[in-house]
A and B are shown apart, each in its own frame.
Chain A
Amino acid sequence: MPTKEEVLEKLKNGVIQYDEDACKEGANEAIAIGMDGNEAIFEGLVAGMEEVGRLFEAQEYFVPEILMCADALYAGLDILKPHCKQMDLGVKGAVVIGTVEGDVHDIGKNLVKMMFDVAGFTVYDLGRDVPLDQFVEEQLRTDSELVCLSAMMTTSMIGMPKVIEKIKARNPNVMIMIGGAPTSKELADKWGADGYAEDASNALKEAIKMVSFLKNLRAEKEAEKKG
């Protein structure tokens, strides 16, 4: 039987080296040695994705590599999810996410979705080229706390302020994140969004930051329990 450290290392490296088989193997081993699914996800798969984020920032990895890493992460995640105990992180997470009408670019959106999946959020993925009113209706239907809007084109982002206005008019407490190459902090502020990520790398970075925060929170809770 491998040790816990060996399993975590296998999961982490499986993600970094976009090796789906290694991630599946690591996930099965984690279950076999009785590890908590959350620990294997956060200390193994997410740790790997954190390194991938760093490699992206250093321009050693680009989008095709990240997509391969994401596949490897999901390969492990699918096996581990049924073995996760419910975490009490003080965050009730439900998010509506999609690429706005007129835009079929969904790579950045999918990467952000992946990190929400990892963090245990309930994700309502509307896909791409989503009619603007559908974001408003889905938020109301699901009572999600967060809505993420993505656009990669200067010509399609113009739908964003309309969605933000409609959602905020009905429920001012909903947090709205916008993302995609043509967006900026300035635009997010102007349109009344609560956050932004300019491209897939930044979106991934922001999402990793969020999940890393949860990871630390989890570690603190674990330490409190032990202490």
Chain B
Amino acid sequence: MPEVDFTVEVCGMAGDGTIAAGGLINEAMSHGGFSVLGFDSYPAEIRGFGRCVTNSRIGSNEIVALGEKTHALISLNDEQSRSRTPSLAEHSLVFFDSNPPAYVPEDNSLLSVLPPGAQVFGIPFGALAVGASGASRGRNLTALGGFAAVTGVDPNLFRKVIRDKFKAKGDRVVDINVKSFDAGYEYALEKFSDRLKSIFSKIETDHDPKKVMLSGNQAIGMAAIDAGLKLYFGYPITPATPIMEYLAKYLPERGGRVVQMEDEISSIGAVLGSFYAGTRSMTATSGPGFALMTELITHGVMAEIPAVILDAQRGGPATGLPTKTEQSDLHAAVFGGPGDSARIVIAPTDVEECYHFVIRSFQLAEKYQTPVIVLTDFFLDNRVENRPLIRAMEGQAASWNVFPDEAFKDHYQRYADTPSGISPRALPGMEGFNFTATGLEHTEKGSPDYSPENHAKMSEKRHRKLRYALKDLEKPAEFFASDHLDVGVIGWGSTFGSVLEAVEKSRKNGFKVGALKVTSIFPYHSETIGAFMAKSKRVLVPELNYEGQLANLIAHLDSKPVDRLNFVTGTPIPPSAIQSRIEELLGVLA
């Protein structure tokens, strides 16, 4: 059976309908039974002269990373699309408007910069759209029609997703949009009849109707609702805002509410307050907002109050690169804030894990009575994947609260020093368990106490609790497990997909390479990670940050130095870069 691994980009100016077109490609190909991973990049300036690009990688096998070489480029604006040509594959297909809405000087034309061998398809997108619908707004759909005709996509797939997208706007809108698509489709079918490809038409795929197209942000929002979230407190910040917007729409129908707070400090303050009162709540933010939260996060550690904080990382430091991706908040998440304030940090690596990890974060926060930080990043939050998504089973999101035994009524010790370090937690309203939660160092009873013995004892208790939490934290997963490896690659977060693809390709080239996926960032499974490092002749940790923040965290687990591959480009690490580095290391070994 022939395989497909095809990447298509749509590029235009803000306002060209670029993102919508890319979304329709993802949906249509998902309905066609393909595995899809899509990622949009859009400008930080909403009304600026920004470039919009969508990248969709479509495969007959499971896709885990972004496409590196573009096999088809759909240009809605030639000047902007010029920037996309360096990533074009050989013999790529290029669709452009042969009758563009604005005059493009010849020196600025897309055609002048295309690599030799590119196959160009000029289609009058705007004119066809006007003919079909009376307005040129549908030119992005006309372009999709041309793309579908030339690549051999069943036009009914596009017609279906166009209908689904516009059905809320009424039959007329659906009709003119389908007509715009058809105009492009028919034009291309006839005009390029001798150049049509059958890239998608001959592929058989196992269509799984349970597969849903979801972004990381949507999965996070769904998980929060399925976990019984009642309150969301947040402050707008890219790229975490879509989570707030998703919940603002869907939480009220589940009896919950979203409160847009005055800043990130009050957001985490209110999250702590509501968990203290026994109600599940959360906040989501990005680096700059996370920095503001750190004091109250350590208050949660000290006063032993649960909290769920999602940090959707973006490029930093300071305001940094709001719409670019990076994994540079790991140190801040693990160590940020005053004092010895160990907290739980977990990091999903794909959209499906976003869902399951967010549900688990509420339970971990309740049981271990400490803030739980879920680290995602711009790429993971905004990429879409079609995966079979299993919604939480009944009871899967059940409370993990540990309440005090009735026997302790009237002589309750809120911070009792137990073997596990977990002190049963009472909630306001419980008769006979009144206590004051405090961020001051305190006795088991909860009274402020700065004596040397007490601070030593209670610090030990809090850290013991965190060590104990490890048993509820997901173990690192080994891929292509083997007793000895020439190169062991350790990946985390959104980068792991690239790691997996790179390792798989290196193995196909005959190299003894393995991968370890680390999702529990703190506390971490030092024995499992250490053993993986020990059996690997070289250890490589690719990350989207300058220093190698995970590498710094785990380097001490083995005596040999860790090899780092650090990208600070604001874009995901391409699998080929990891593969090259692996094979470079192998060259050193040989």
**Chains A and B form a bound pair:** no
